[in-house]
Amino acid sequence: MASRKILLITGVSSGFGLALAKEALAVGHTVVGTVRSAQARRDFESLSAAAFARVLDVTDFEAIEGVVSEIEATVGPIDVLVNNAGYGHEGVMEESPLSEMRRQFDVNVFGAVAMMKAVLPFMRERRRGHILNMTSMGGHVTMPGIAYYCGSKFALVGISETLGKEVGPFGIAVTAVAPGSFRTDWAGRSMTRTPRSIADYDAIFDPVRKAREEKSGRQLGDPQKAALAMLAAIDADSPPAHLLLGSDALGLVRGKLSSLGDEIRAWETVTVSTDG
Q: Report the site for ligand NAP in 39-78 (rule: CB under 6 A).
A: 57-59
Q: Which one of 48, 75, 87, 95 is in contact with ligand NAP (CB under 6 A)?
A: 87
Site string for ligand NAP, 2-41 (x = CB under 6 A): --------xx-xxxxx----------------x-x-----
Q: Report the site for ligand NAP in 236-265 (rule: CB under 6 A).
A: none
Distance CA 172, CA 220 (A): 32
φ, ψ of residue 230 to 5 degrees: the values are -70, -35
Site string for ligand NAP, 203-222 (x = CB under 6 A): ----------------x---
φ, ψ of residue 207 to 5 degrees: the values are -65, -35
Distance CA 183, CA 181 (A): 7
DSSP secondary structure code for residue 79 in this structure:
-
Is the Cβ of residue 164 or residue 223 nearer to ligand NAP in the bound state? 223
| Nearest approach, Cβ of residue 77 and ligand NAP (Å) | 23
Q: Report the site for ligand NAP in 169-198 (rule: CB under 6 A).
A: 179, 181-182, 184-186, 190
| Nearest approach, Cβ of residue 137 and ligand NAP (Å) | 6
| Nearest approach, Cβ of residue 108 and ligand NAP (Å) | 6
| Nearest approach, Cβ of residue 134 and ligand NAP (Å) | 4
Contacts of 195-200 with CB under 8 Å at 24 or more apart are 195/95, 196/92, 196/95, 197/95, 198/92, 198/94, 198/95
Element (H, E) at 269: helix 268-272
| Nearest approach, Cβ of residue 101 and ligand NAP (Å) | 15
Which of 70, 97, 76, 55 has the alpha carbon at shortest distance from 193? 97
Which of 207, 230, 257, 240 has the alpha carbon at shortest distance from 81? 230
Is the Cβ of residue 13 or residue 30 nearer to ligand NAP in the bound state? 13
Residue 149 is among the residues annotated as catalytic for this protein: yes
Distance CA 11, CA 81 (A): 12
What does the chain come to in residues? Answer: 276
Chain contacts with ligand NAP (rule: CB under 6 A) = 10-11, 13-17, 34, 36, 57-59, 84-88, 107, 134, 136, 179, 181-182, 184-186, 190, 219
Active site residues: 149
